[in-house]
Each structure stands twice: as structure tokens, then as C-alpha cells.
């Protein structure tokens, strides 16, 4: 009997080694094969950026298969892209500030605009921004505005500005996104400063201001913040556009506030890495999703502000207020840009202090 067991275990051990080697060689082959095959688009972005119909529609029409790889943060993307020396991936969609760094690192190839027939559909409001002032490298895909949302049934405070969040009546009742530049920026705005101020003393002051906000903070997180607003866990939340869309669809009672101090916004954009194996596929894809009817499908799915002017009119009425900026929108807007390492370090320090003070 003993022998039987040991034989079985021995077999398992050997099988394990074999499986390890077999799987690795096989996967190694399949891992590099699509890049060489002409008909594959290696798309690298967050999970869930496109409705399945759009991806399938693209494949059906152009014949390019889509291999969808996903990352969790912009920084993971850039680290991977750097390790791949600008190769491996054909098309990347990421946030504005990281694209500026990627361009500076020489990982982005310049766009050949003659290959993009539908480029004219892009809303000029989202073009010529800091990360790509000449629009030479990127095509925007969705914009987000840092929005304040609150449930008037849960608090008597009428919120019209970031400063209102400091109201003691909101104790332990606010949710904020886990983004240090946005939240520190909120305090900077209350102090009348820019998001991108370089003076570390000013950032320090904003940090002190934030410490006063700490007792009001119930949670800090990026994912599914809308759930906490809807379930009544918190009365007010600072969150991303797609979450605002979800929250308001679930509970129309919620008030959306564009704070008086001005709002921050960010743009997600597509770019083609410098050594992309299949650039033609990437151009085909960019052009495909620039079509107004495709863009409409994408943005209704994504819940971010539509960056495609031609698609604005197609968007269904129920989504319209979330996906396009309100008529006569004139609040001051500012983007969060890359800053000096010293300023960054100070931001990080006050952010860590703030988080610890919230407990």
C-alpha cells in the first residue's frame, strides 16, 4: 500500500515538473505568436473599456482579431511598456499625465493623421492639452470630471463647493476617491491655489487644511464608491465620472455639484507605442471607434464624458446629462499635470498623514 501511494505521489511530482515545462513552452509560443501574426490587434488598457459588440464589430469588419490585455493602473502600464521597450502592444489607452511621461520616454510613435479619416469628429475642447499640445501622438477617448455628489435626504448641508465638505455636520459621512493629487488638489482649490502648484510650503498648507477634513472622511477608495452613496453608507462623495453616471442612474435623487472653486478634469487617450508590431491594426481601430455611431455605443457603456463631438447628438436622452457637459458650463477647469519630484514627495507625505488621520 505504501508503495502505491509513493508511486502515485512520485508520478504527481514528475507530472508537475512536466506540466510546468510543457505549459511554459506552449504558453511561451502562444504568448509571442499573435504579435507576429499579421491579423491581431494587441490592445492594452483597463478591463471593460469597450462593449463586446464594438470589439466584435471591429473584428467582423476589418478582420483583425483583438487580443485584450489589461492593467490596473497607468503606472503598471508604463512599467510594462518600458520593459517591452515600446513593443508588444499596438494600441494603449491610458490617462493624460502618464502619456506625457511616455512621450518623454520615447515610447510613443507619432500619428500619421492621413490614416485617420474620422479624426475631425473629436471634440476640440479635449484637444491640444498639456500632455500632447500639438495633438501629434494621441486621440482622446473619454474625459472625466472630478464631481461631487451628495444625497440631500441624508444631510441638511447644501453643498455647492468643496469648502462645504469641511462642514462639521458631515462628520464621518464623506467618501473620496483614492487619488492623492485629486484630494490634495481639492484642498489646494479651497485655498485658492492651482492643482499643479510647485511650492512645497503651499502643498504643506493644503495638507494642514486636509487634516481638518479628516474627521468627516468615512472612506477612501477607487472602486465602486457609488455603492456606498447608494446604500446610504455616506451622504456625500467625490468620485469619478463613470461612478457618478452609475450612481445617478440608480438614484435620481442624488445632487451632482460642479464645485464653485473650479473642477479638475482628466482625459483618457489612445496612443500607438513606438515599436508597435501592428500599427495598421491600431489605426484601423482608432478610426473605427471615432465613428459617431460606434462612439455613441462606447460612451454609453463607459459612462465617461464623450470626446466625440459628432456622437454627442446621438447619445440617448437618459445618458445625455452624464456624458456631455451641461449647456453653458462655465466653471473653471484645470487638468492635473506632472510636477517636480520635490512637490510630488510633499504631496505624498501630506496624503499619508491625511489617510492616517482619518482613522
Partner 1 sequence: MKQRRSLWLMLVPLYVFTLVFVAGPLVYMFILSFETRAETWGVVQEFTLDNYKNIFQPVYLQTFAESFRLAITSTILITLIGYPFGYFMAKLSDAWKKRLMLLLMIPFWTNSLIRLYGWMIVFRANGVLDKLLMALGVIDTPLKLLYTYPAVVVGMVYALLQFMILAVYSSCEKLDRSLIEAARDLGASPAKAFFTVTLKLTMPGLLSGIILTFIPSMGLFFIADILGGNKIVLVGSLIQDQLLKAHNQPFAAALAVVLMLLTTLMISLYKRVTHSSELEGLL
Partner 2 sequence: MKRKFRFSSVYLALVLFLIYLPIVLVVVYSFNESKISSVWDGFSLKWYEELFADAALFEALWNSIVLGVASSCAAAVIGTLGAVGFTRVKTRTKGVMEYLSMLPMMTPEIILAMVFMAFFSLLGLPFGMTTLIIAHTAFCVPYIYMLVKARLVGLDPSLAEAARDLGAGEIRVFFDITLPLIAPAIASGMLLSFAMSFDDVIISLFVTGVGVNTLPIKVYTALKTGVTPEINALCTLMLAVTILLVVISGAVGRMRGGAQQTQEGKQ
Binding site for partner 1 (CB under 8 A): 73, 75-76, 78, 82, 101, 104-105, 172, 175, 178, 180, 217-221, 231-233, 338, 340-341, 344-345, 347-349, 351-353, 355-356, 358-359
Provide the pairing of β-strand 333-335 with 138-145.
unpaired
Is the C-alpha dihedral spanning 210, 211, 213, 217 positive or negative? positive
Give the footprint of partner 2 on residues 278-297 (CB under 8 A): none
* 70 strand-pairing partners: 45
- Tell me the three state secondary structure of residue 107: coil
**CB of 66: closest distance to partner 2 in angstroms?**
9
Q: How far apart are the first and last CA of the chain?
A: 58
Determine if 60 is a binding residue for partner 2 (CB under 8 A): no
- Tell me the three state secondary structure of residue 95: strand
- 74's grid cell: 497607468
Which H or E run includes 142? Answer: strand 138-145
- Tell me the three state secondary structure of residue 116: coil
Q: Which of 162/351 has CB closer to partner 1?
A: 351
70 binds, among partner 1, partner 2, none (CB under 5 to 8 A by kind): partner 2
Q: Which of 113/221 has CB closer to partner 1?
A: 221
Q: Which of 207/266 has CB closer to partner 2?
A: 266
As to burial, measured by CB atoms within 10 angstroms (0-12 exposed, 13-18 middle, 19+ buried), residue 3 is exposed
Task: Please pick, from the candidates 98, 186, 213, 246, the single residue that binds partner 2 as defined by CB under 8 A.
Answer: 246
Provide the pairing of β-strand 333-335 with 40-45.
unpaired
Q: Which of 95/135 has CB closer to partner 2?
A: 95
Give the footprint of partner 2 on residues 205-234 (CB under 8 A): 222-224, 226-228, 230-231, 233
Quick one: three-class SS letters along 28-58?
HHHHHHHHHCCCEEEEEECCCCCCHHHHHHH
Q: How far is CA 175 from the centre of its chain?
A: 18
Q: Which of 17/201 has CB closer to partner 2?
A: 17
347 binds, among partner 2, partner 1, none (CB under 5 to 8 A by kind): partner 1
The Cα–Cα gap between 107 and 85 comes to: 7
Stretch that binds partner 2, among 46-54, 99-107, 255-263, 309-317 (CB under 8 A): 46-54
Helices marked H in the chain — which ranges? 2-36, 52-62, 74-83, 96-104, 180-190, 200-213, 225-230, 241-250, 279-290, 292-302, 309-312, 317-323, 341-358
Q: Which of 37/221 has CB closer to partner 1?
A: 221
Give the footprint of partner 2 on residues 1-40 (CB under 8 A): 1-3, 5-7, 9-10, 12-13, 15-17, 19-20, 23-28, 30-32, 34-35
Determine if 300 is a binding residue for partner 2 (CB under 8 A): no
- Helices first, then strands: H and E counts in the chain: 13, 11
Determine if 57 is a binding residue for partner 2 (CB under 8 A): no
Point out which residues bind partner 2 (CB under 8 A).
1-3, 5-7, 9-10, 12-13, 15-17, 19-20, 23-28, 30-32, 34-35, 42, 46-49, 52, 67-72, 76, 79-80, 83-84, 88-89, 222-224, 226-228, 230-231, 233, 240, 242-243, 246, 250, 302-303
Amino acid at each position: 500500500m505504501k508503495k502505491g501511494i509513493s508511486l502515485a505521489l512520485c508520478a504527481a511530482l514528475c507530472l508537475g515538473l512536466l506540466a510546468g515545462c510543457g505549459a511554459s513552452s506552449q504558453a511561451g509560443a502562444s504568448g509571442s505568436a499573435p504579435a507576429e501574426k499579421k491579423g491581431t490587434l494587441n490592445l492594452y488598457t483597463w478591463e471593460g473599456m469597450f462593449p463586446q459588440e464594438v470589439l466584435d464589430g471591429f473584428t467582423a469588419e476589418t478582420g483583425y482579431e483583438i487580443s485584450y490585455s489589461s492593467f490596473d493602473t497607468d503606472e503598471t502600464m508604463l512599467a510594462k511598456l518600458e520593459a517591452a521597450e515600446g513593443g508588444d502592444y499596438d494600441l494603449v489607452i491610458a490617462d493624460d499625465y502618464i502619456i506625457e511621461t511616455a512621450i518623454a520616454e520615447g515610447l510613443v510613435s507619432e500619428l500619421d493623421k492621413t490614416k485617420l479619416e474620422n479624426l475631425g469628429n473629436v471634440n476640440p475642447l479635449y484637444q491640444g492639452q498639456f500632455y500632447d499640445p500639438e495633438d501629434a501622438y494621441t486621440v482622446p477617448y473619454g474625459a472625466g470630471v472630478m464631481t461631487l455628489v451628495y444625497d440631500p435626504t441624508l444631510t441638511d448641508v447644501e453643498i455647492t463647493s468643496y469648502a462645504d465638505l469641511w462642514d462639521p455636520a458631515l462628520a464621518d459621512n464623506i467618501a473620496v476617491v483614492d487619488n492623492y493629487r485629486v484630494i490634495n488638489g481639492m484642498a489646494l482649490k479651497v485655498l485658492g491655489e492651482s492643482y499643479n502648484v510647485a511650492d512645497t510650503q503651499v502643498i504643506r498648507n493644503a495638507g494642514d487644511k486636509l487634516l481638518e477634513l479628516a474627521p468627516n472622511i468615512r472612506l477612501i477608495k477607487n472602486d465602486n464608491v457609488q455603492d456606498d452613496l447608494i446604500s446610504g453608507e455616506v451622504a456625500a462623495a467625490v468620485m469619478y465620472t463613470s461612478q457618478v453616471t452609475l450612481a445617478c442612474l440608480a438614484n435620481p435623487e442624488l445632487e451632482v455639484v460642479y464645485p464653485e472653486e473650479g473642477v479638475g478634469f482628466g482625459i483618457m487617450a489612445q496612443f500607438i507605442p513606438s515599436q508597435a508590431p501592428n500599427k495598421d491594426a491600431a489605426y484601423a481601430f482608432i478610426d473605427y471607434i471615432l465613428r459617431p455611431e460606434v462612439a455613441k455605443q462606447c460612451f454609453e457603456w463607459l459612462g465617461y464624458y464623450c470626446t466625440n463631438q459628432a456622437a454627442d447628438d446621438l447619445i440617448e436622452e437618459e445618458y445625455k446629462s452624464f456624458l456631455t457637459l451641461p449647456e453653458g458650463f462655465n466653471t473653471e477647469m484645470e487638468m492635473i499635470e506632472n510636477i517636480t519630484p520635490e512637490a510630488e514627495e510633499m504631496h505624498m507625505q501630506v496624503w499619508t498623514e491625511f489617510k492616517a488621520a482619518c482613522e
